């Protein structure tokens, strides 16, 4: 009994510092933001309590609704473009291809680069005057397609999605690769003896056994899409004419440009709840037992 009590005490001692830090940098700011979201406050002096007026405005403001729509499109692109490409790369690398370690490292390099650097790099690629993309189109005889990719409403949103999708393909690929590699080789040998092709083996054995990893990647991908900020802010700042604005950039401009701390806090609470609800839905409908 003493041994059990001693172990529990040791566990508490080791966990307590992390729990305190978590409360200080996560839970406390969430509660503070929730309180501010009920105020009409400019960041100075005492705010006026207005109840849920900020939330009503959030769901009736066309600019806010447009930012929500963009984040949903971003999440859809992550699910239906980024994750399938990551899965394809993971399955290819996990099949013991030549140079497996080299390719694994190369695909992961963009993840290690700062998102701000990535945004600056792609802004040069998209540049209307000297950008690599327009130069390439002109050299292959498609100069009529060259345009200001980040400056036009019809192309800015897609052009903003591509860098983030590209940057984190390697991240999800590595998680999926590790999941595929953890599957016993005996299963694949048995499938090979039974005459199963690589494609059939992938769909009937590898992918089903990777379900826990795929679930984690799905959660990370969707949450990342909902809270994306730095890349959009550096690339377009939410423009042109709010075409590429997402809730996080709207929150930033609301707080630091118009000094509406209450409304900006309401947007931040919405982002938190959005991520939480989606995570619960994914956990509810995708079982991994």
Q: Between the CA of residue 206 and those of 103, 181, 209, 251, 252, what are the distances in Å?
A: 20, 9, 5, 42, 43
Residues 71, 278: Cα–Cα separation, whole Å: 13
Domain count, the chain: 1
Q: Which pLDDT band holds residue 289 (cuts at 50, 70, 90)?
A: low
Residue 169 structural domain = 57-285
- pLDDT attached to residue 71: 94
Reference 217, options 158, 286, 269; nearest CA is 286
**Is there a domain that residue 10 lies in?**
no
What percentage of the chain carries pLDDT values higher than 90?
65
Measure the CA–CA gap between 39 and 55, rounded to whole angstroms. 11
Whether 40 is in a domain gets the answer no
Q: What one-character-per-residue DSSP string does 125-145 give?
A: HH-TTT-HHHHHHHHTT-GGG
Whether 8 is in a domain gets the answer: no
Task: Give pLDDT tens digits for 234-288.
Answer: 999 888 889 999 999 999 999 999 999 999 999 999 999 999 999 999 988 887 6
Which of 45-49, 61-65, 108-112, 214-218 is predicted with the least confidence, judged by mean pLDDT?
45-49
Q: 191: which 2 tokens?
A: 């499938």
pLDDT greater than 80 at residue 107: yes
Domain-located, residue 87: yes
Is residue 192 domain-resident? yes
Residue 76 CA to residue 222 CA, distance in Å, equals 8
Query: Alpha-carbon distance 147 to 140, whole Å?
Result: 15
pLDDT band at 143, cuts 50/70/90?
confident
Q: What is the mean pLDDT of residues 47-76?
A: 94
What band does 6 get if pLDDT is binned at 50, 70 and 90?
A: low
Q: Which of 135, 115, 57, 137 is nearest to 235 (CA)?
A: 115
pTM score of the predicted model: 0.89
Q: How far apart are CA 267 and CA 43, in angstroms?
A: 16
162 belongs to a structural domain: yes
pLDDT tens by residue, 173-187? 999 999 999 988 888
pLDDT band at residue 216, thresholds of 50, 70 and 90?
Answer: very high
Q: Residue 2: is its pLDDT beyond 60? A: no
CATH number at residue 192: 1.10.3720.10
User: Could you tell me which of 232, 222, 231, 255 has the C-alpha nearest to residue 67?
Assistant: 232
pLDDT of residue 3: 56
Is residue 166 one of the residues assigned to a domain?
yes
**What are the φ/ψ torsions at residue 205 (nearest 5 degrees)?**
-125, -60
- Per the domain annotation, does 28 fall within a domain? no
Residue 44, token pair as written in the block? 């100075």
How confident is the model over 81-92, as a mean pLDDT?
94
């Amino acid at each position: 009994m003493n041994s059990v009590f001693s172990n529990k005490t040791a566990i508490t001692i080791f966990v307590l510092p992390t729990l305190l830090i978590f409360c200080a940098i996560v839970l406390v700011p969430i509660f503070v933001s929730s309180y501010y979201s009920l105020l009409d406050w400019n960041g100075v002096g005492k705010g006026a309590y207005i109840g849920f007026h900020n939330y009503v405005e959030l769901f009736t403001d066309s600019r806010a609704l447009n930012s929500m729509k963009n984040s949903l499109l971003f999440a859809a692109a992550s699910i239906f473009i980024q994750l399938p490409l990551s899965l394809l790369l993971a399955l290819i690398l996990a099949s013991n291809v030549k140079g497996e370690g080299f390719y694994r490292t190369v695909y992961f390099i963009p993840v290690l680069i700062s998102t701000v650097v990535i945004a600056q790099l792609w802004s040069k690629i998209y540049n209307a005057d000297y950008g690599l993309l327009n130069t390439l189109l002109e050299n292959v005889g498609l100069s009529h397609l060259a345009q200001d990719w980040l400056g036009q409403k019809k192309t800015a949103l897609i052009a903003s999605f591509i860098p983030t999708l590209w940057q984190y393909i390697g991240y999800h690929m590595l998680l999926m690769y590790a999941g595929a590699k953890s599957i016993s080789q005996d299963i694949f040998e048995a499938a090979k003896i039974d005459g199963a092709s690589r494609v059939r083996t992938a769909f009937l054995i590898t992918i089903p056994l990777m379900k826990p990893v795929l679930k984690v990647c799905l959660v990370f991908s969707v949450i990342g899409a909902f809270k994306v900020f730095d890349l959009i802010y550096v690339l377009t700042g939410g423009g042109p004419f709010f075409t590429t604005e997402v809730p996080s950039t709207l929150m930033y401009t609301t707080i630091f440009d118009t000094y509406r701390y209450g409304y900006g806090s309401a947007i931040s609470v919405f982002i938190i709840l959005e991520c939480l609800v989606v995570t619960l839905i994914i956990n509810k409908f995708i079982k991994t037992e």
